[in-house]
């Protein structure tokens, strides 16, 4: 059994709360998650060990898709998690996880997963860079050097849907996720427009918990008749009985996102037979390690895997590509940071172009944010600070 080197310690951990500018509107069923010119909050973490090796992580909080805000992520990290990690061994992952769980206890599910995901990402980046290997090698190695991306369609009219998809097709995209939640009638018009302009494309309808059961049944049956490939999360995240009845009454594949917060919950839902596919977000699940557990759980139950993000920068984007490139077959990847952000602290062109995400041969994640950029884009977490 391999021994764990406990002599190399966390020596320095820096937190950078940064605002990155939206270059287009981002609509969700609960409201607008971002507007043109608005600053999107990103919390970057740099960890340095006692031998001077660094690792980087990113959290992407937003009150529109989680209870975690920039303020809560910053205080969770700065007041509790970071102080508790200082001077502890870097190679003891079990001990690292125990510290995070001790300092911010779980409720029904993992406590403050988005905050913890930044540290988990930085930990894995540090380990891979110490070993001189790409991040993917920590999870069995990459099977692909590039991954085709899904384009996120965020529009409120059929004309907008057609315009966005037409542009995306010209850029090389061949799969599309359409944000719904405007009512059954309008949602069907949006999906009809999507199918008319992209007749051979993979179409993913994301309802973002917008519906009650009977509405969801009507929507699902109509989407199936349109040849839509799958429907994501039409019901509230904790409506497991509703999801079970919905799954029984529809033919279109049903994907769950907001309902899945842990590998154990995914196992429970798989045993209930309420889903055909699972949408995995690294931040929401608390980091790379727990996401990889969910990947293994989904594979063991024959559940289709889809990947999604929260408009992360090149750092989170590249980390996600490294993880999902370890699967045998490429999965639909909805990493939409490059679509919505007009600026980036790293070299986004190194990992994103031609409608695909690319892996680098560099150690770790392969992206190192510019400290000068981060310093120039810092924002005040608290208005009166």
Q: What predicted TM-score, i.e. pTM, was given to this entire model?
A: 0.94
Report whether 204 contacts 232 (CB < 8 A): yes
User: By three-state DSSP, how is residue 276 classified?
Assistant: coil
In this prediction, residue 1 carries a pLDDT of 41
**Eight-state DSSP code of residue 341:** B
In this prediction, residue 127 carries a pLDDT of 98
Q: Please give the structure tokens belonging to residue 178.
A: 């359409």
What stretch(es) of the chain map to CATH 3.20.20.120? 138-358
For domain 138-358, say whether CATH 3.20.20.120 is its number. yes
What stretch(es) of the chain map to CATH 3.30.390.10? 10-133+371-376
201, 220, 196, 202: which is closest to 210 by C-alpha?
A: 220
Topology (CATH level 3) of domain 10-133+371-376: Enolase-like; domain 1 (3.30.390)
In the chain (385 residues long), the average pLDDT of successive 10-residue segments reads 74 97 71 69 97 97 89 97 97 96 90 97 98 98 97 95 97 96 96 98 96 97 97 96 97 97 95 97 96 97 96 97 96 92 96 96 97 93 65
DSSP string spanning 76-127? Answer: IIIIIIHHHHTTSBSS-HHHHHHHHHHHS--SSS-SSHHHHHHHHHHHHHHH
Look-up: residue for tokens 């600070």?
385
Report whether 281 contacts 252 (CB < 8 A): no
In this prediction, residue 32 carries a pLDDT of 60
């Amino acid at each position: 059994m391999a021994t764990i080197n406990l002599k190399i310690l966390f020596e320095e951990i820096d937190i950078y709360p940064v605002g990155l500018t939206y270059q287009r509107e981002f609509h969700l069923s609960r409201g607008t998650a971002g507007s043109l010119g608005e600053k999107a909050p990103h919390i970057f973490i740099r960890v340095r060990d006692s031998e001077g090796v660094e690792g980087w992580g990113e959290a992407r909080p937003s009150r529109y898709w989680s209870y975690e805000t920039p303020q809560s992520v910053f205080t969770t990290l700065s007041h509790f998690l970071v102080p508790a990690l200082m001077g502890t061994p870097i190679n003891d992952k079990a001990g690292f996880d125990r510290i995070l769980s001790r300092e911010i206890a779980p409720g029904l599910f993992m406590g403050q997963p988005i905050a913890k995901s930044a540290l988990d990402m930085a930990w894995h980046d540090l380990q891979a860079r110490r070993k001189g290997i790409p991040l993917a090698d920590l999870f069995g190695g990459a099977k692909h050097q590039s991954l085709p991306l899904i384009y996120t369609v965020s529009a409120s009219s059929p004309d907008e849907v057609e315009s966005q998809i037409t542009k995306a097709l010209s850029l090389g995209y061949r799969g599309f996720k359409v944000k719904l939640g405007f009512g059954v009638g309008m949602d069907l018009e949006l999906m009809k427009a999507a199918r008319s302009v992209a007749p051979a494309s993979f179409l993913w309808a994301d309802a973002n918990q917008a519906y009650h059961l009977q509405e969801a049944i009507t929507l699902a049956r109509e989407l199936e008749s349109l040849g839509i490939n799958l429907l994501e999360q039409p019901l509230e995240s904790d409506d497991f009985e509703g999801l079970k009845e919905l799954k029984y009454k529809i033919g279109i594949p049903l994907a769950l996102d907001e309902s899945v917060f842990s590998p154990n919950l995914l196992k429970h839902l798989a045993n209930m037979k309420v889903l055909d596919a699972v949408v995995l977000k690294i931040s929401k699940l608390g980091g790379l390690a727990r996401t990889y557990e969910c990947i293994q759980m989904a594979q063991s139950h024959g559940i289709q895997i889809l990947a999604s993000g929260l408009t992360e920068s090149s750092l989170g984007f590249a980390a996600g590509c490294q993880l999902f490139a370890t699967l045998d077959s490429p999965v639909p990847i909805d990493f939409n940071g490059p679509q919505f952000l007009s600026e980036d602290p790293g070299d986004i062109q190194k990992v994103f172009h031609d409608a695909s995400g690319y892996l680098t041969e560099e150690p770790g994640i392969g992206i190192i944010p510019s400290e000068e950029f981060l310093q120039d884009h810092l924002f005040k977490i608290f208005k009166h600070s």
